[in-house]
Amino acid sequence: MSDVAKQPPTGTASAPESRRNGRLQTPLALLIVAVMLLSNASVAALSRCQPLLGWMLDRQMRTWRRTNVIYAYNLGYIDADDRLLLWDIPETDYRQGGVFFIGSSTTQHSIATWLLPAEEQNLVHNFAIKSANTTEQFQFVRYLVEQRGLLGGAPGKTMVVLGLAHFDTRPKITGTVDWNYVPALFARHDLYSYDPVTGISDRSLARPLRFLQFERMRSYNFLESLVRHASFSGPAFGAEAKPNPESDKAARAFVERMMGYDDWKHNMNAQLQQLELMIDYLHQHGAIVSAVLLPLASWNHDLPVATEFDARVRDICRRRDVSLTDLTWSMPDSDFADHSHLNYLGQEATTRILGGMARDHLLASGLLRQR
């Protein structure tokens, strides 16, 4: 047989070369995995670097106060809702008690917890979810109680503050603005599940996989927020909204459409029943429940939906012995960034009121000592 015939086919490694390549592949794969894990760990550690986060927050706040438009706290994350999913929910120590604000975006933009004194920031939590109606808020409360241990600490230590606005009695009609926002939110990152009947739950994942997924998404959020922060020069949508008769008329029409036109009373009644159930549920689990009628812009004066909601809520709170704080007309239109959300300076003003309410509970419950 010729020498040519003894050679392995072109492009095929000899047996010793194959064994050598096989021995190299495993260490190489392990090295790649180690580099990936080390990179994620480094970014995760950087995302918790307080001096860096403090610098980012100071720079961002100066811009928001100067431009004075709408702001939801998202330091280190792509948006406030990702911060809620990836940090606030899993990292909060529920058993120590504290104050938890529940509501929709109107609540989200009414209490700026990062402006509170340092010793209060770990005890006061803004757990509002954008676009959540009362049914979805109750589902979230049940999730926090039954799967996260909210109200599992000593009696009298936890107060739940319900931020109330007639916008939250909308029925989520298919095709209207943000009708599917809450289900889509909890589908993010494959860490939570949402069912319209059973509500919110943690997805079934092995603890190591859950931990790695949280850290991976936190790292991604931090890098993305850092890139955005590097080029951050202010909000993209300019100065504050200035209400006028035409825009006010459009806002009223928008609310009518979201509430289901002639069915608005029926739809409101269904959502207020959920509010009553939520209050009863919280009381049964030992929570101190308080409520706040949130600030409204002047176009809501004499709006049938707003007037009916105000009367119904006052009656519910009276019958269920819930303390009600009325901020309905506490803010001028100049403190609104749009037709329903406070601008940054308006948010600072309401924080002084709501922060005082929270502080009263912290002092009364012994969670905070009098200075």
Closest of 175, 363, 370, 134 to residue 268, by C-alpha: 134
So what's the pLDDT on residue 13?
54
* Cα dist from 96 to 2, 146, 150, 155, 349, whole Å: 84, 16, 9, 10, 28
120 belongs to a structural domain: yes
So what's the pLDDT on residue 237?
43
The parent domain of residue 180 ranges over 39-364
Each residue's pLDDT expressed in tens, for the chain with a length of 371 residues = 455 555 555 555 566 665 555 556 666 555 555 555 566 666 667 777 888 888 888 888 888 888 888 888 888 899 999 999 999 999 999 999 999 999 999 999 999 999 999 999 999 999 999 999 999 999 999 999 999 999 998 899 999 999 999 999 999 999 999 999 999 999 999 999 999 999 999 999 999 889 888 888 988 888 888 887 766 665 544 444 556 778 889 999 999 999 999 999 999 999 999 999 999 999 999 999 999 999 999 999 999 999 999 999 999 999 999 999 999 999 999 999 888 999 999 999 999 999 999 999 999 999 999 87
16 belongs to a structural domain: no
CATH code, domain with 82: 3.40.50.1110
11 belongs to a structural domain: no
Closest of 141, 156, 162 to residue 97, by C-alpha: 156
57 belongs to a structural domain: yes
* Dist CA 166 CA 170 (whole Å): 8
- Is the distance from CB of 114 to CB of 121 less than 8 angstroms? yes
20 belongs to a structural domain: no
So what's the pLDDT on residue 67?
83
Instruction: Decide: helix, strand or coil at residue 35.
Output: helix
258 belongs to a structural domain: yes
Q: How many domains does the chain have?
A: 1
Q: What are phi and psi of 203, to 5 degrees?
A: -70, 150
30 belongs to a structural domain: no
Q: Give 186's contacts (C-beta < 8 A, 6+ positions apart).
A: 85, 192, 193, 194, 200
- Is the distance from CB of 309 to CB of 316 less than 8 angstroms? no
pTM strictly above 0.85: yes
285 belongs to a structural domain: yes
Q: What are phi and psi of 352, to 5 degrees?
A: -65, -35
Q: Give 201's contacts (C-beta < 8 A, 6+ positions apart).
A: 143, 147, 192, 193, 195
